[in-house]
Every structure is written in C-alpha cells, then in structure tokens.
Chain A
C-alpha cells in the first residue's frame, strides 16, 4: 500500500485505536481480575484468591445459580437446535427454489427481528402469551428464545449455502440420487460448517439474553442473566464477577469455535 494512504500513518490513529480497545475491554478485564480478589470489596484489591469461584458452586447462593444455569443451558440448547433446523429449512427454500413471489419479503421477514428493538419484542411476546392464555414459565422462555434465535442461526447458514453451487446436487441427482438423498448425502455435509456456526451463534444469543427472558419468564423461574441481575440488585458481590467471568469464558469458547468451523469450511471448498 502506498505510504500516504496507509491508515496507520494517519494522525491520532494509534491513540484512537487504544481508546477504543480500552473502552471495549477494560470493564471486562476489571471484572475478570476482581473475580480473583480475596477481599469482599469490589473496589479494593485484597490479594489473589479463587474463593469466589468456590462460593459460586458451594456458597449460599449456589443452589439458585445452579438451577438458573441448568435452565439457561437447557433453553439455549433446545432453542438453538430448533432455530437451526428452521433456519436451515429457510436457507434451502431461499437458495434452492429459484425465484418465487414474495422472496424479497420473505428475506426481510426472516431478518427483521434483528432490527426490531428488543424491548418491543419483549413486550409483544409477553402480551402474546397472556392473550393466548399461556402460563409464563420455562416453556414461554423457550418459545421466545427459539423465535429470536432464528435470524441469528439463519445468517451463517444462508451465507454458507450461497457459496455451495447447486451443481453438486444436480450431479447427485444425475447419479440417481432422489432429491432427499441429494440433500442428505451432498448438500447437508457441505453445509455443516454453516449449520454449526449458526447453532453456536444462536446458542450464545440465547444464553446471553436478559431483556426478553425477564419479560416472559414466570415467577420464580430464573436463567443465569436474570439470576445475576436479581442478585446485583441487592448489591454487587465478587461472586457475581466470578459467574460473569465464567459466562464470558463460555462465550469466548463458543464464538471461537464458530469462527474456526466457518474458516475450516471455507478452505475446503
């Protein structure tokens, strides 16, 4: 690149970059560091200790958090699985049926939930459940999560599908595969990286959701984010930092996996 157009030589480039990185990551670093604080204070460093992690699993609040974690993971796995299946079907319909009436509208409808303010979806979901007479509880959380996970699962699956030319399925059908066999034996294996990416993304989005969950959860039912919020309302204790750090760790692992799988898939075809 020519020297005068190299972005790195612009005045203030270094300072701006560092400022952005600090704003993005300083809070996370502070939480992660203070989760190992020996003191019960959240502002004063009292030496290194893993006791808050022990507290998370054995302390007085541990049964509450354990139940919340189980709920969170069950909902995340269930919602992400269903959302991935639906998103895969949607991607096949979008990319393998040629042009049809209302295709543009369908794409917009699938992706619209990404643009709708979450609070609106939360309120609407609650009103919807009340209207049809559903008792709020785990099931309502699951249904709400399933719905908002679909566009997130759809994005990587659709992107992957776009990069798989339809000649592979044609070749399969030319070689006596029924349409279902062509899908199962050829298209599906080629789409696996996108599908896994979509699943992991949906899983993280569900695991992380607070707003919608808080609206549609029944009394006494908590997921990790709502349990953490409930606990914080009574004052921030370092055990919250430990839980948050654990959750951050899970997220980082999943997002990294999603990225690695996506990259491996790209290099193969």
Chain B
C-alpha cells in the first residue's frame, strides 16, 4: 500500500493495566479518507485502542503513527485528532457556538475567525439556528450533531467516534447513520468509528476491523468480513451462520476438499491458515437450498419454523444431532416444511467457507 495514503498506522500496540492485558499487539493501517470501524463485543479492546489514539491512555508498547510521526508519547492536546464522545461531553456552561469554537480558539484562532468557521460547520450539521443555545436545551440528536461539529471544526487529520449513536433511539440512529456517512464523504477526513453494532458497521464502513479479546480477528471490507470470514469468531459475530464440524482432507491454493457431517464431500474456499484434519466451515443460513432428501444432499429433520415476514427461518437437525439454521425467502410458498419432515439440504461450493480454526 502507498505510504502516503495511510492516515493512522497502529503498529503492534500493547496496552496493559497491571496484570490485565487489554490489547495484545494490535496492528492496522487506517487509510486517508476512509470510514474505518472497530467492531467487537464489549471488552474486546476497541474503545481502549481509540483512547490510545486520542491520547487518553498511554500505550505500554508499540507505536501509533500519524503521517509517519509517532504520536504515542504526545499528550492528547498535542495530537491532531478529535473525538466524538459516547456521552457527547458538550460543555454545559457554554453555548453551542462556544463549544464548536473551543478547539479553534485553543489553536490560536481569533474570536472572529473561529466563530466564522464554527458557523460553517454548524451549517453542515444543520444547526445554524441553535448557535446561541446551551447543550441542555437541545435534543439528544441535536447534541450528537453539535459533538460532531465540535470535533470537525478544527479540521483534524483523523476523527475518532466512540459509539456516538448508542445514546440515540433506533429510528434516529438509522437517520444519523446516513448523515454521518455523508459528512465523512464531504469532508474527506478519515473516521475511526467504534461500535458493537454489526449492522451499523456493515452499512457505514469502508473497512472493518473485527476485534475480540484484545486482538484483531480480521480486517476487511464489510463484504469480505461477511462473505469470507477468517475464523469462527468473525463468522459467528457478523450476522447469523452455521458452524459445521468437518473433516478436511486437503487444502491447496485457497480451496479445501472436505467431508460434511455424514460424509458428504464438499469443495469450498478456505481461509488463510486452514489446515488438514478436523475443522469448521461457516455456512450462512440464506445460502442453503432445501429440497427433497436424495443423493448429494445433506439429510436433516425439521424441528421448528419461525415466520419473520420477509423470511422464514427453519430450525432443523442434522442426523448427528447438530442444529442447522436455514433461511427461506418468503416468496409466497403455499407450504412450509412441517416439524418432523425430512429435508435434503444443498450447500453450493461458494456458500461455504472453511475457517482457520
């Protein structure tokens, strides 16, 4: 990758709190102008990493480079990055305009220039009419936009966002997603967005880093993360999947020959690092075709079905007792397989993926 296009280079960052290690040598390149998401369950280290980039936490080992310069030793006020906090942290004793101007004033802008620039940014987040209000007089969504404007006003190299949508209700959250993405494109600033919400991550990001237990599990586009998960954690965390125990007979050039439960052979793509022997494949429920039992199909027994409107979810059991989930599109079928009925499942080669672990 071209060195100049890297906005933030996180290089083998380790963060320890006493005997607890929160980050185990995390590395990633965040490119200029991209919407980069740190995704993972709570406690995975995503917020810790964000706070390390912002400067609120010292790194124990490793470097964080911004345009080639290691900023890890710098205090927060000397780093050209700004943060949108989860609880917004708007200064309650200042007006909206004073909040947005704060960073520019600290950087030595005159009152007039700072106000002018702040009004432009407020216009971008459609809050021009609220400049004189105090944060306490605004709704949650408006406060969120002030927080965004305040962080954008000084023109940071990178904008850090710590679960900024989690305090909003569902409907507003969906609207803000679109708006946030639009602002990111307009400004061309790299956004590093922390969330535990996979839907948020998939819909907004250019690239996603999936994290778990202080380690990066996989970095890739939303499509790559969903379609080509690297390991069981990623496959299971992003969307719904079936993890089947398989026996791998050979792996070469990214393709694996393996046996599904019951002995049915399958040739499918393999994640890097997958080896021969016992392994796991991930099969998305919507990529399984159902039909009558027969040669070349995986036999299963229907246990239950759940009507979801656009889809119908079938809970079935393989002959070895392992549960398997199938999603049928609601195409106006007259009948849904009843509990107890026998099925033959077909898994296309492209629908399955052998995982690394």
The reply to whether chain A is a binding partner of chain B is: yes
Q: Tell me the bound Cα distance from A186 to B89 in angstroms.
A: 11
Say yes or no for B75: interface residue by CB 8 A criterion: yes
Q: Tell me the bound Cα distance from A176 to B108 in angstroms.
A: 10
CB distance from B16 to the nearest CB of A (A): 15
| Cβ 8 A contact of B103, one of A168, A176, A178, A268 | A176
Binds A, one of B77-85, B175-183, B200-208: B77-85
Q: Tell me the bound Cα distance from A191 to B204 in angstroms.
A: 39
| Cβ 8 A contact of A174, one of B76, B87, B136 | B76
Of residues 156 through 178 on chain A, the ones whose CB sits less than 8 Å from some CB of chain B are 165, 167-168, 170-178
The answer to whether B75 and A173 touch across the interface, beta carbons within 8 angstroms, is yes
Say yes or no for A190: interface residue by CB 8 A criterion: yes
With contact pairs A174-B83, A268-B136 given, residues A168 and B76 touching in the complex (Cβ less than 8 Å):
no
Say yes or no for A189: interface residue by CB 8 A criterion: yes
The answer to whether A171 and B92 touch across the interface, beta carbons within 8 angstroms, is no
The answer to whether B91 and A168 touch across the interface, beta carbons within 8 angstroms, is yes
With contact pairs A167-B89, A170-B56 given, residues A175 and B150 touching in the complex (Cβ less than 8 Å):
yes
Say yes or no for B93: interface residue by CB 8 A criterion: yes
B110-128 contact mask (Cβ, 8 Å, vs A): 1 or 0: 0000000000000000000
Say yes or no for B191: interface residue by CB 8 A criterion: no
The answer to whether A268 and B89 touch across the interface, beta carbons within 8 angstroms, is no
Say yes or no for A269: interface residue by CB 8 A criterion: yes
Number of residues in B with C-beta < 8 Å to the partner?
25
Residues of B close to A118: CB separation below 8 A = none
The answer to whether B150 and A167 touch across the interface, beta carbons within 8 angstroms, is no
Of residues 40 through 96 on chain B, the ones whose CB sits less than 8 Å from some CB of chain A are 54-56, 75-78, 81-83, 85, 87, 89-93
The answer to whether A173 and B91 touch across the interface, beta carbons within 8 angstroms, is no
The answer to whether B92 and A173 touch across the interface, beta carbons within 8 angstroms, is no
With contact pairs A168-B89, A189-B93, A190-B93 given, residues A174 and B54 touching in the complex (Cβ less than 8 Å):
yes
The answer to whether A167 and B85 touch across the interface, beta carbons within 8 angstroms, is yes
Residues of B close to A176: CB separation below 8 A = 77-78, 103, 106-107, 154
Say yes or no for B102: interface residue by CB 8 A criterion: yes
Q: Give the nearest-CB partner of B81 in chain A.
A: A174
The answer to whether B85 and A171 touch across the interface, beta carbons within 8 angstroms, is yes
Residues of B close to A61: CB separation below 8 A = none
For this complex, 12 residue pairs linking A to B, each with C-beta atoms less than 8 Å apart, are: A165-B87, A170-B76, A170-B89, A171-B83, A174-B81, A174-B151, A175-B102, A175-B154, A176-B106, A176-B154, A179-B75, A182-B77
Which A residues are closer than 8 A to B by beta carbons? Answer: 165, 167-168, 170-179, 181-182, 185-186, 189-190, 268-269
Q: Which 7 A-B pairs have the closest CB atoms?
A: A175-B103, A176-B106, A171-B89, A167-B89, A173-B76, A173-B77, A189-B93
Seed contacts A170-B76, A174-B83, A175-B103; 11 additional CB < 8 Å A-B pairs:
A165-B87, A167-B85, A173-B55, A173-B75, A175-B102, A175-B106, A175-B150, A176-B77, A176-B106, A185-B102, A268-B136
